[in-house]
A and B are shown apart, each in its own frame.
Chain A
Amino acid sequence: MIQLQNISKSFGEKTILTDISASFYPGKVNMIIGASGSGKSVLMKLMVGLFEADSGNIFYDSKDYVALSRPERTEVRREIGMLFQNSALFDSLTVEQNVIFPLQMFSANTPAQNLERVNFCLERVGLKGTNARYPAEISGGMKKRVGIARAIVLNPKYLFCDEPNSGLDPLTSILIDELIKEITVEFDITTIVNSHDMNSVMEIGDQVIYIHKGHKAWEGDKGSILSTDSEELNDFVFATTFLKDFKNRRNKGV
């Protein structure tokens, strides 16, 4: 479980996040949603330790990440897997080398055990037999899946996904969403997904936090999103004319 307590962050004069508190649960897909520039990516980077919060605490189970020493933070980071918006695969390495990298760096396994684990992860994300291909030789959707395989190869307790559907077609987006959901339940991972894709939210989201201009504007389960009174969330969810019409017709009972 991950808990945020009163997290605030500014860059110079510009305040990005103000007093964010939230809880993220294991075995669930916890969604952070919000418009572009709302501060959700900064929040995720604070949680994984790429930025330092100006104030507040981040608890990984009982460990206060903010108060940990550098070696202790490194230990926590080894329990984190992350899928990046652009996959962030190492260009000079093959698919297999990308996925095996964390194992070679941190595990005491034999090369055969590492390879077995890599093959298991690649098979789990539907990429069996792609070991020798380079990131430049595979599609965007496949890159995301390699990113997921790399993120789960060390059996992480926490999985962070930053805009997992960006740049993907609708069908591939659904496949990636389903994969994230399945892995979360199968391995009982605390998964946090940053997204502004409402399809993803409604498909795989369990718990949802809505960030608006750096503030937590709404929190709840996905079932209550469509009936919320929150004006900001309604503006975000029903941003398109089609959805606005749908909501108006629903309210009128049409």
Chain B
Amino acid sequence: MRFFYHFGRYLLLLRQMFRRPENVRMYWDELFRQMVAIGVSSLGIVTIISVFMGAVTTVQTAYQLISGLVAKTVIGAIVADSSILELAPTITSLVLAGKIGSSIASEIGTMRVTEQIDALEIMGVNAPGYIIAPKVLAAITTIPMLIILSIAMSIGGGIFVGEATGILSSQQFIEGARSSFRGYNVFFSMTKAFTFAFIISSVSAYQGFYTTGGSLEVGQSSTRAVVYSCILILLSDYLLAQLLL
């Protein structure tokens, strides 16, 4: 029963989010602030994890394909496809759930317990619209871009390590990646990116918006935001794979 209570309240919050803004320019400014906070500030962490993701996948794939009967280009194909289909969208989103999700939940939760949300509502501002909608829109525009970057960095990491360790040359890697490339995989990856971005931002915002109590509860909301976002990302990852592949 508690699941239906929270799910219903979550849907109602989403509906409130998309009411007509009181002042479009203020919302627009807030959207850009959030795009910087969510997207630009995550560039570093996404780059680092993606490079290592590609590098480790290359080494481990080479280790498993030790047989001389398999062409080395296969390594490039496997690393590129793995990066596009699963590693970049899912691993990056799980990391972003920790970074962005906790930040959104704690920011909104703090606003709730310090009555800043009440202050907005008394002014006549639609608080879910002004606080949450720009975060959700910023997430679904910047996270897919981060995932495209992640794919590129992962492949780049694979090429670099392949070349540096002598596992395979960059030409062999690229040849393998190109041979197995399918445009549909990128579409699938972007579908995941949009879905995960929406889950991270909206679930975390929900957890923050309905925080009651004080700083201890803000921390608990932040933890719940990360845990629920991760579980929902993995669940929707499976469902999308089942539906679209």
Contacts and interface: CB of A to CB of B under 8 A. Distances in A.
Interface of A: 45, 48-50, 74-75, 77-78, 80, 82, 84-86, 88-91, 101-102, 104-106, 160
Interface stretch (B3-11, B119-127, B202-210): B119-127
Contacts of B26: 104-105
Interface residues of B, number: 15
B125 A50 contact: no
19 contacts: A45-B118, A48-B122, A50-B118, A50-B121, A50-B122, A74-B124, A77-B121, A77-B122, A80-B122, A82-B119, A84-B115, A86-B115, A88-B114, A90-B111, A91-B110, A91-B116, A105-B26, A106-B22, A106-B23
Contacts of A84: 115, 118-119
B115 A105 contact: no
B124 A77 contact: yes
Given A88-B115, A91-B110, A160-B122, 8 more contacts: A50-B122, A80-B122, A88-B116, A88-B118, A90-B119, A101-B123, A105-B123, A106-B22
Give chain A's interface secondary structure class. mixed
Nearest to A147: B119
Contacts, number: 50
A82 B116 contact: no
Nearest to B125: A105
Q: Which of B110, B111, B121, B123 has the most chain A CB atoms closer than 10 A to its own CB?
A: B123
A106 B124 contact: yes
Contacts of A85: 115
Nearest to B25: A104
Interface in B96-114: 110-111, 114
Interface in B141-173: none
> Top 8 nearest A-B pairs by Cβ distance?
A88-B115, A77-B124, A88-B119, A74-B124, A78-B124, A84-B115, A82-B122, A105-B23
Contacts of A50: 118, 121-122
A62 to B, nearest CB: 20
